[in-house]
Structure 1
Amino acid sequence: MTMRRGRWWAAGLLVTGVWTSTPSVWAQGAPGKAATPDKGAAAAPATPTPTPAPSPADADKESARLFEDAKKAHKAFQWDKARDAALAAFKLKPDPAYGLILGQSELQTGKPRDAAEHLELFVREAKSATAIEKQTAQKLLDDAKLKLGTLIIKVNVEGADVSIDGKAVGRSPLVAPLFVDPGSHEVEVKKFGFDPGKELLAVAPATESEMEFALAALPAEPETKQPEPPKKEEPKPPPLPSPKWRTYGMIGGAGLTVIGLGLGVGLTMMANGKSDEADQQLALLRQTTPTTSGLCGAGGFAPNAAGCAKLKDTLSSQDAYTNGAMVGYVIGGVAAIGTLGLFLLPRTPFGRKMMGVNVVPVVGGGQTGGMVVGSF
């Protein structure tokens, strides 16, 4: 205990000596004792409550003002006021140069872990600090570390989130050591796409532990295909009618077409033969009939009566053959159209409206032919 107290007084004398020689270093009282200002010293002004800065320039100005208050309280050994003012200034502007007064005030008010963090920041990043200030901060940091455990955490990948006891403390790589209170602590490191690492560590005061985490990359997950929506099955149409009647109809129509056309052609040839025969009979009658008499009829030449009767029969036969040929052609044409209609008729299921073609022959009344009637 004697040696420990002597070291504290030595540090206090060092800081006091620097304070009197340069305005950038401040006095330090003996730790563990309530520091009181000289009776003749003026009371330090109360630390004002910081207000949110409307702009970065105003924030810097307010931070500098608060730090001046912290220096005054520090010089008067008012550690609570010095810590509050320095911490408020640091929150507005995290300047590493604030770390010496802030860390010493925290150490004097029983916050060694906070003190170690700010003193380590001062030693590492305070560019404008003098060698004496750095030496003083290092001694105070060593005293704080006697009450704490120091962790140095290394991770094999960058950007991994590091947490201690569920509280985030930074991302890898960590440039500064971490300070924890003595006891058991759970350190967890995780990053998306990697298997997380977790370790439970018992920390003793004034010890330094180095932890290394090697995170293994997780295998790439296969792409999951979205299930296709079930296909809506359309109702199956009723079965098509049997095609036999179509086949039979087309066969019958084709046969009737051949018969009709054959009958028409045959009767046409016979009608032509009768026409030639009638021409010959008429020529014979003209040769035997005087020019002053008619050929046939009531005023005709009497000897021509038998020839005229024969000519009349020939002409009647010609007309009969001609009419028969016309009927044959009509029958063949109607059959051909019907056969073609059956061939082109779509196979529509029963129970639905069907397209149809009907051919109706027309004979008589001075007309001979066919009429096509259909529904579409």
Structure 2
Amino acid sequence: MVSLIIITTFAAFAQSPAAPRAAAPAPPDPAADALRRARAARSAGRWREAEAAYRAAFAAAPRPAIEGELGLCELSLQEYLDAATHLQRALFDRRELSPAERQRFEDGLLRAESEVVQVEFVLSHPKAEVFLDGKFLGRGQPEYRLYVEPGRHEVRASLEGHVTQTVPFERWAGDVTSFPVALDPIPKPPPPEVIVRATAPAPERDRSGRNIRIAGASLALAGTALGVGFAIAAGVRDDEAEAQADAVREDYGRGGCLYEGISEITVPCDALAETISTRDTMRGAAWASFIAGGVFGAVAISSLWWAPSPPSPPRAAVRPFVVAGGGGVAIGGVW
């Protein structure tokens, strides 16, 4: 009897199942909770509350679909600049969006871009620091694309060793603008100026009188030489004329050239007349040359009074010296 009880008790103990362990509670999902609140606020038309909830959801889970919904809420609140920025970034990777989401976000982006200005500019030096309206925009990229409010703005780029470049622009809602931003190297300073102190040049002597005398003497000599040449030529022609006259007198008598009607007399008489004419011309040229030479010579001589040459500087130096056993005077110069 006792052994039966023991066996029954063991069997009952062996067949009794173990008590189930309680499951750990799942951690809360902040993105899912924020999305529920955002959708509820959006359905109720509470756009400011929906925008805050979508912003919290995007901070917890930065997915393109959440950023696009945030942009649509900002569009409803007429915050066009933020709306355009978020919608453009949401559409950057379209593969993560459903067709319906892509369509809604594209339509919203078109509406937002019609209220802002699209700006695009390219830097010549990507390492430059870029500022928009005085606020730091970025560094280390060659190209910038962004949205700004309509109105006047200013892009400034600076880089060490280069001249800071500022580009102002003014555009209106819906405009698209693009421009380059070129940075030029700072020009190197010019080398220091070297001032060379030179002794003042000696005043130049007035040589006008000397030049006049040289020219006058040269022209006088030239005139004399020409006069002598013409006089010699006139003498030669005079001898020729005398010979021709003797021939006419010998053949036709002393008055042979008075008979103009005889052809055999005309030829030698014409030659005689031409020789005499040439002789007279040579004599006149000789006299003119002599007179011109005399005039030039007179001008050259008279210039000694009305254009004298300045006195020449001293060219001699006298230096006394003393040596052992005596002394003397040393004279040096140019004579």
Provide the TM-score with structure 2 as the length reference.
Answer: 0.44
Provide the TM-score with structure 1 as the length reference.
Answer: 0.39
